[in-house]
């Protein structure tokens, strides 16, 4: 298969340490794959093995269904370009000459570069915003500028596959986005297969079609970005608390690490059930997790913004089909989750005929002498009852049974801390 990479049980050891441990993977033609993982997980070593800079102790690597070891280096350079993490250049050439080296694989022995080669080099430099540096010495420019020059050299090779090891590490945020947008464009318009090691998980989430998550030399999981970048998977690799939300501007997943001390261990055994929906539970859910509580949710409709955040955070949920009345099955699951919790919190979710049964769940909890708080928000204005008054009447009934109304997050968290 053209433009493809596959590895079969490759292992690489340094002295007695196994850095890459029996990794098998398939990168399909035209993919944009990002490799992520904590320091020491084997990301850069795996990339160097695929680039033929290192030789595996065991296993095989195929480029375009052909064994990597069967390629002559010049032929391999026509297929694949590499942008290393270390962009230092031993010789102080002009920037233009450094990029022009990318044309070497396409030249015969003793052949000089022609007008077509010069045009390709200029195009590569303009795409990477380095044309204005063409007459500068490569070791006189900044590290970020040199990073873009090396990427321009890779583009001048006109490869079908580009491997990049931390290509944005020396770049400011403007040039990070510029380079990744360029790689995305090459991937989409010219079907160049991209494999990049990135330290920034949010850039990985924004630009990758697929993600490979490594930990101590092994694959935790590999697949579509949104399937891989879940709280459960990332916590396994990075060993810290985090939340994941969707960026409202880019629509990409956004990972927000929490400090190691943010989770209060003394409260981790307390379970809270949320009755929410329509985005009313998002802020509360994140605060509860940061405080160390175990949380469940439901009943929420599939596709609801609270449901979406709950899925990203791997929260146990009772869910119902969109725009559907809550079924007895979904209500039963929510009841089970609520019964397993120490207390429940109901948000100011608008009440309609589709979700009014959630109030019955709250009533059942109160009748069992379980504590239930109503977190009174003003997200939807005054009108939150769309059941001709039935919903408001039920809430008043719930208050008479002990539903406690709280209007600020600070007060709610204080009450939760005091509740035994």
Residues forming a β-bridge with 272: 295, 343
Helices 115-127 and 143-156: crossing angle in degrees, nearest 10, is 140
Instruction: Domain 265-418: give its CATH code.
Output: 3.40.50.450
SS3 state at 12: strand
Q: Please, where in the chain does CATH 3.40.50.450 lie?
A: 265-418
CA distance 331 to 350: 18
CA distance 403 to 281: 18
How does strand 161-165 pair with strand 193-197?
A: parallel
DSSP tag of 324: -
pLDDT tens sequence across 191-228? 999 999 998 999 999 999 999 999 999 999 999 999 99
Report the percent of the chain where pLDDT is more than 70: 95
Q: Among 279, 282, 413, 277, which residue's Cα sits nearest to residue 358?
A: 277
Residue 380 has a pLDDT of 46
Pick the CATH number of 5-245 from 3.30.70.3040, 3.40.50.300, 2.40.50.140, 3.40.630.30: 3.40.50.300
CA distance 344 to 291: 16
pLDDT tens sequence across 129-174? 899 999 999 888 888 888 889 999 999 999 999 999 988 877 888 8
Q: Please, where in the chain does CATH 3.40.50.300 lie?
A: 5-245
CA distance 216 to 236: 11
Q: Which residues of the chain have pLDDT under 50?
A: 260-267, 380-381
> What CA–CA distances, in Å, run from 377 to 155, 343, 383, 406, 412?
53, 19, 12, 9, 12
pTM equals: 0.68
* Torsion over CA: 235, 244, 168, 84 (sign): positive
Tokens standing for residue 379: 């997200």
304-315 burial, b if ≥16 CB within 10 A, otherwise e?
A: bbbbbbbbbbeb
């Amino acid at each position: 298969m053209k433009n493809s990479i596959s590895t079969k049980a490759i292992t690489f050891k340094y002295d007695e340490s196994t850095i890459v441990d029996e990794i098998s993977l398939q990168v399909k033609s035209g993919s944009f794959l990002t490799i992520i993982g904590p320091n020491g997980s084997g990301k850069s070593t795996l990339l160097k093995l695929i680039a033929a800079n290192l030789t595996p102790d065991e296993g095989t690597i195929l480029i375009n269904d052909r064994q990597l070891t069967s390629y002559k280096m010049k032929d391999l350079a026509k297929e694949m370009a590499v942008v290393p993490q270390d962009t230092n250049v031993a010789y102080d050439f002009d920037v233009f000459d450094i990029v022009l080296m990318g044309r070497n694989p396409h030249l015969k022995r003793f052949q000089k570069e022609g007008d077509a080669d010069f045009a390709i080099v200029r195009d590569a430099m303009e795409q990477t915003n380095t044309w204005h540096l063409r007459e500068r010495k490569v070791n006189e420019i900044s590290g970020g500028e040199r990073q873009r020059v090396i990427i321009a050299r890779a583009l001048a090779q006109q490869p079908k596959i580009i491997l990049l090891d931390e290509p944005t590490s020396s770049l400011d945020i403007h040039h990070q986005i510029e380079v990744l947008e360029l790689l995305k464009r090459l991937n989409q318009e010219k079907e160049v297969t991209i494999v990049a090691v990135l330290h920034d998980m949010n850039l990985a989430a924004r630009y990758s079609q697929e993600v490979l998550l490594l930990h101590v030399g092994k694959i935790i999981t590999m697949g579509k970005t949104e399937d891989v970048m879940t709280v459960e998977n990332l916590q396994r690799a990075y060993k810290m608390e985090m939340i994941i939300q969707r960026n409202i501007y880019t629509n990409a997943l956004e990972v927000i690490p929490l400090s190691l001390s943010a989770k209060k261990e003394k409260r981790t055994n307390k379970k809270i059930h949320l009755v929410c929906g329509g985005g009313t539970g998002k802020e509360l859910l994140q605060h509860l997790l940061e405080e160390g509580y175990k949380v469940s949710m439901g009943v929420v409709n599939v596709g609801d913004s609270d449901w979406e955040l709950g899925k990203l955070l791997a929260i146990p949920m009772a869910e119902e089909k969109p725009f559907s009345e809550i079924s007895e099955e979904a209500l039963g699951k929510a009841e089970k989750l609520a019964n397993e919790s120490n207390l429940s919190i109901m948000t100011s979710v608008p009440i309609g005929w589709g979700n009014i049964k959630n109030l019955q769940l709250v009533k059942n909890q109160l009748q069992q002498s379980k504590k239930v708080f109503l977190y009174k928000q003003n997200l939807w204005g005054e009108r939150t009852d769309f059941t001709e008054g039935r919903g408001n009447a039920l809430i008043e009934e719930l208050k008479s049974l002990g539903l406690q109304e709280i209007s600020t997050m600070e007060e709610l968290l204080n009450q939760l801390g005091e509740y035994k």
